[in-house]
Amino acid sequence: MGKKKRMPGLYQRNGYWHIDKVIRGKRFRGSCSTKDYREAEAYLVHIMEKSRRQMMFGEPEEHTFEAAAAKYIKEGTKKSLERDIQNLRSVMPFIGHLPLRSVHMSTLQGFIDDQKKKGIKSGTVNRQLAVVKQVLNLCFGVYRDDNDIPWLNQVPKITVQDWDDKRPGYALSDDEINCLMSCMAPGLKRVTEFLLNTGLRSGELCDLRWSWQREGEVSAFEIPAEFTKNSTDKLLVCNTIAQRILVEQYSLQSEFVFPGKQGAKRERVSSTAWKTARKKAVEVYRDRTGKEPSLGFQTVRPHDLRHTFATELRKLAVSHETRKALLGHGNDDITTDYSQAEVNELRTAVEGLAKGFYGENIIDFPTNSPHSTWRSRARDT
């Protein structure tokens, strides 16, 4: 009896069997992931039968979530695509290998539990799950096989996660601030120092524009309600330290005071650079003090700079009403209604934070500034 003839479309490479075959006009290529010929042959027969059923009965081709995510990234044009890629990388080890029909809350639970165990906030997990849902929606409504069959017949319900993940605010000590800033590049250091001296939220800093400068004021900005957390107008006043930073930032020639790449809007403050500096700062703190850093310092966030600002104001015995105005806590006040005396009162309060860092200085703003008020005295206390 003669030797059994090899099935067309199978060949061996480095001991493993591979497929290279045209089936109903479509070419299939790939590894069978086995060195056993019978297993490879059975796999090819499975693919051929699957193709036949798709052609005759309209059964959808089975795609993995990994393939769908790759298509999403390849065809994506949104500005935040890089962030979506990072979110997909987080979830891929848990569902990337699964067929699309097998991606649902049960199979996503392992990812959710893992993120929760790592201390990731539920809001962050919800943003990651939102990208997963976006990919699944495209598989249902946009992505099609050659025979016009959608990649997915139904999008599963993905529920919003909500667990108690709020960490109380942490106020940094002088030693911690010095260690943190010593580990930062100049740009991030200026951002950090500005937040420490103004109490701005990170989002407000990213949105801050030169056009919001208060008329007739060198060091005051009016932040519109649509850019604040509580949807009320906010007055930002700057002390001597913050004013010096403004001078440095103006040379960047952007509409934003603290721009991102190529003068565009900065996306966030808590970036990889922030986390790298924080990690180095923890080690520097150990070396300088010989003490173990507190958990608050080891996990310090940009928002903790705001808590530090508020704490320092309390130490200076600044009144509750003044602290409330400086922090922009919800109230019915409109920044444009502040009188000059009230603005000066607020500036006096934040100037207390700068005391001891700089002496009596007059800052001359750039002469090429379109704002004539920038050539005024920077200090008005």
Q: Residue 264 sits in a domain of what CATH number?
A: 1.10.443.10
- 147 within a domain of the structure (yes/no): no
Average pLDDT over residues 68-79: 90
> Sign of the C-alpha dihedral, residues 88, 90, 91, 93?
positive
Tokens of 327: 């922090």
pLDDT at residue 368 tops 90: no
Higher pLDDT, 6 or 324: 324
Across 239-266, b (16+ Cβ under 10 Å) vs e yields bbbbbbbbeebbeeebebbbbeeeeebb
Between 329 and 243, where is the model more confident? Answer: 243
Could you tell me which residues come within 8 angstroms of residue 207 by beta carbon, excluding any fewer than 6 positions away? 223, 227, 256, 265
Q: What does the pLDDT look like over 268-316, one tens digit per residue?
A: 898 889 999 999 999 999 999 999 999 899 999 999 999 999 999 998 8
pLDDT (mean) for 16-42 = 83
In single-letter form, the type of residue at position 199 comes to G
Same-domain check for residues 39 and 86: no
- Domain range holding 339? 174-375
pLDDT of residue 229: 83
**Residue 192 falls within a domain, yes or no?**
yes
How many structural domains comprise the chain? Answer: 3
Looking at the fold, whether 133 and 220 belong to one and the same domain comes out as no
Distance between CA 345 and CA 380 in Å, rounded? 10
Question: In this structure, what DSSP letter does residue 211 have?
Answer: G
Question: What whole-number distance in Å separates Cα of residue 148 and Cα of residue 162?
Answer: 38
- Report if residue 77 sits inside a domain: yes
163: in domain: no
Whether residue 187 is found in the same domain as residue 287? yes
Q: Would residue 156 count as lying in a domain?
A: no
State mean pLDDT over 69-85. Answer: 89
Specify whether 135 is located in the same domain as 236.
no
Output the pLDDT for position 362.
Answer: 37
CA distance 34 to 37: 8
**Above 70 in pLDDT, residue 51?**
yes
Tell whether 206 and 340 lie within a shared domain: yes
- Ramachandran bin of 317, using left for φ above 0, alpha for ψ from -120 to 50, beta for the remaining angles: left
Integer Cα distance of 168 and 303 in angstroms: 11
If asked whether residues 216 and 295 sit together in one domain, one would say yes
Q: Is 100 exposed, middle or buried (0-12, 13-18, 19+ CB in 10 A)?
A: buried
The verdict on 69 and 47 lying in the same domain is no
Q: Considering the domain boundaries, does residue 353 fall inside one?
A: yes
Assess whether 32 and 80 both reside in one domain: no
| CA neighbor of 129 nearest in space, from 108, 113, 110, 114 | 108
| Same domain for 278 and 258 | yes
Residue 337 falls inside a structural domain: yes
The confidence band for 334, taking pLDDT boundaries of 50, 70 and 90, is very low
Number of Cβ within 10 Å of residue 339's Cβ equals 8
User: How buried is residue 299: exposed, middle or buried, by Cβ count under 10 Å (0-12/13-18/19+)?
Assistant: middle
Judgement on whether residues 193 and 91 belong to the same structural domain of the protein: no
pTM: 0.56
The answer to whether residue 238 scores a pLDDT higher than 70 is yes
42 and 69 share a domain? no
Residue 201 pLDDT > 90, yes or no?
yes
Q: Is residue 125 part of a domain?
A: yes
